[in-house]
């Protein structure tokens, strides 16, 4: 009963380095999302996907790219990390249902520090 799993849980990057965060869900959900959480700012949507092969920008997409090649996986990439991208990143997924119940299930989070 894994739900939503994020890899890695912690990471420290130097400015300019690149990395990819992996999100995997085993609930066959159509929607997947990447959020960042900063103190006092709540959860802000970076990118999201409404299905395999489709992605869309959220509220704060600059500096990030995403891909959803398989329905169960949603990757978040940072091409050239900046200190402003220091944050806790959460992946989430939700189903598309007849009753429009869009409860989102969250991963455990990735704490990223860019120095």
Partner 1 sequence: GENVEQHPSTLSVQEGDSAVIKCTYSDSASNYFPWYKQELGKRPQLIIDIRSNVGEKKDQRIAVTLNKTAKHFSLHITETQPEDSAVYFCAANKADRGSTLGRLYFGRGTQLTVWP
Among 12, 27, 82, 96, interactor with partner 1 by CB under 8 A? 96
Binding of partner 1 at residue 27 (CB under 8 A)? Answer: no
Q: Which stretch, 11-19, 64-72, 79-87, 95-103, contacts partner 1 (CB under 8 A)?
A: 95-103
Binding of partner 1 at residue 31 (CB under 8 A)? Answer: yes
* Whole-number Å distance between alpha carbons of 49 and 55: 4
Q: Which of residues 59-88 bind partner 1 (CB under 8 A)?
A: none
Nearer to partner 1, 84 or 108 (CB): 108
Binding of partner 1 at residue 34 (CB under 8 A)? Answer: no
CB-based burial, 12-40: b 16+ in 10 Å, e otherwise: ebeeeeebebebbbeeebebbbbbbeeee
Total residue count of the chain as it appears in this document: 115
* Whole-number Å distance between alpha carbons of 100 and 79: 35
Phi, psi for 85 (deg, rounded to 5): -95, 5
The answer to whether 12 touches 3, Cβ cutoff 8 Å, is: no
Binding of partner 1 at residue 22 (CB under 8 A)? Answer: no
Residues forming the site for partner 1 (CB under 8 A): 30-31, 33, 35, 40-45, 48, 50, 56, 58, 90, 94, 96, 98, 100-104, 106-109
């Amino acid at each position: 009963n894994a739900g939503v799993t994020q890899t890695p849980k912690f990471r420290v990057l130097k400015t300019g380095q690149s990395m990819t965060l992996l999100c995997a869900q085993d609930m066959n959900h159509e929607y997947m999302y990447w959020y960042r959480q900063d103190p006092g700012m709540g959860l802000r949507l970076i990118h999201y996907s409404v299905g395999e092969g489709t992605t869309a920008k959220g509220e704060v997409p600059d500096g990030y790219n995403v891909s959803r090649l398989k329905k169960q996986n949603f990757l978040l990439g940072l091409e050239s990390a900046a200190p402003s991208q220091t944050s806790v990143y959460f992946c989430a997924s939700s189903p598309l249902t007849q009753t429009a119940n869009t409860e989102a299930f969250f991963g455990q989070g990735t704490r990223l520090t860019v120095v």
